[in-house]
Amino acid sequence: MQKGLVAMVFFVYYLRMDTTHTTITVTASKHYGQTLIYVSDPRIAKNLRTLTGRKSLTARDVEALKELGFLLVKPATAQITL
């Protein structure tokens, strides 16, 4: 638990050094009735995967990231007008 906490603090400090990373773009997909949340940026996804041990984020992970001041957004979908 202590290693995870130290890694999370370092990760947050590292991302806070560059203010462009306070927003994390995520995508959601349903598999067998479960909604899975994935981080779009490969660099951020890799670091979060190292911390959590999972490719997808849980609701608890999302809440923790929000508590730390991150904004999680879904990408805008293209709308076709006829």
Q: What is the mean pLDDT of each run of 10 residues along the chain (82 residues)?
A: 61 58 87 91 94 93 92 74 56
63 within domain boundaries: yes
**What is the structure's pLDDT at 82?**
56
16 within domain boundaries: yes
Which of 26, 27, 28, 6 shows the shortest CA–CA distance to 70? Answer: 26
14 within domain boundaries: yes
82 within domain boundaries: no
Domain of residue 18 covers: 2-73
Across 29-49, b (16+ Cβ under 10 Å) vs e yields eeeeeeeebebeeeebbebbe
* Token digits of residue 35: 């909604």
Structural domains counted in the chain: 1
